[in-house]
Amino acid sequence: MNHSTAPQALLVLEDGTVFSGTSIGRTGTATGEICFNTGMTGYQEIYTDPSYYAQIVVNTASHIGNYGVHNQEVESEKVRISGLVVKTFSNIYSRNRADASLQEYLIKSGIIGICNIDTRSLVRHIRSKGAMNAIISTELGEEELKTKLAQIPSMDGLELASSVTTPATYFVGDPFASHKVAVLDVGIKTSILKNMAARGCYCKVFPATTSFAEMETWQPDGYFISNGPGDPSAMHYAIDTVKAILEANKPVFGICLGHQLLALAMGLRTFKMHNGHRGLNHPVKNLLTGRSEITSQNHGFGVVMDDLLNNPLVELTHVNLNDNTVEGIRHKSKKAFSVQYHPESAPGPHDSRYLFDDFINLMQAN
């Protein structure tokens, strides 16, 4: 794409801040909660992660698109972000095995974006003011955009998992594998299922609103609660399902949104974070081993630390070394644990993949 002939675009934030740049992807108008990801690579995995549904993503890496896209490097069947903001956008890619340019991929996926803006200034603004709704457009003026933006609901209290979950059950892995895992899909990433299958798990993936009783008819050895988008406290159906799993004392492992749902099922509260954690470089300390891990993260909600520390049934297992937020918990008398971050992360880091082995050991002990 020749940026000199590309349409101009506007990015307007909820607080009235305006950025002017150049259109990338499709022309039109897109809305969502704006957030930033600090990963230096893996942009295609970010865009296809269902946890980013209804969000406009700012890539803090200065050059995006330089290695194109590859059909196998996806975390779901389609792009999930609402819009894209980058500094320097490249339609030229260097990787021989790339299937297309990022521009072709965005157009095919119907994604509207903006480039040639000062993303450092934008990220500093989000860090200061917090995550907020935003709008990108190549067709409307500033005042029209501000009027349209005022009609967009806040992420706080928004239930989104039902928009990204599978419409029907499906299977992943070897039917003769040693462990059967029932997966509650509230926005699952493909890499999670690959990690399960690689460790001898046969997974049956269920829609988000499936009850424990229905999943239990398959007689799984353990339950997994996936990542996903939206406010966990608005997902009463899933909280009830996780409560039933706990009451039955079945082995259960949760990641990201699944971690928050497990916390809510154990009587803890969640809260909307100021700007969330999104990137491939977040330090987390495992309090059980004393070791630190570099982790991949993508979440805008967290578990209330005071609730956890005052609950005699739940133990803090992992803590974020940047801001001391909750990164992992386990029930002291049930076969249940979870982490806020992503041990399956692709392209990396892979420091935390031992957690899948911990889940396997929990099922074997059961």
- CA dist 275 → 15, 128, 226, 259, 363 (Å): 15, 9, 22, 19, 36
Query: Is residue 282 annotated as part of the catalytic site, yes or no?
Result: no
Q: What is the DSSP string of 35-67?
A: EEE--SS-HHHHHT-GGGTTEEEEE-SSEESTT
Residue 17 dihedral angles phi and psi, to the nearest 5°: -65, 140
Per the annotation, the verdict on 344 as an active-site residue is: yes
Question: Nearest 10 degrees: CA dihedral of 104, 77, 237, 316?
Answer: -90
Q: Active-site residue among 14, 75, 256, 299?
A: 256
Cβ 318 vs Cβ 330: under 8 Å: no
Phi/psi at 351 (nearest 5 deg)? -60, -25
Residue 141 CB-density burial (10 A; 0-12 exposed, 13-18 middle, 19+ buried): exposed
Given 33, 45, 73, 344, the catalytic residue:
344
Of these residues, 259, 299, 318, 342, which one is catalytic?
342
Cα(48)–Cα(131) distance, integer angstroms: 20
256 is catalytic: yes
What crossing angle do the helices spanning 236-247 and 257-265 adopt, rounded to 10°? Answer: 70
- Residues marked active site are found at 256, 342, 344
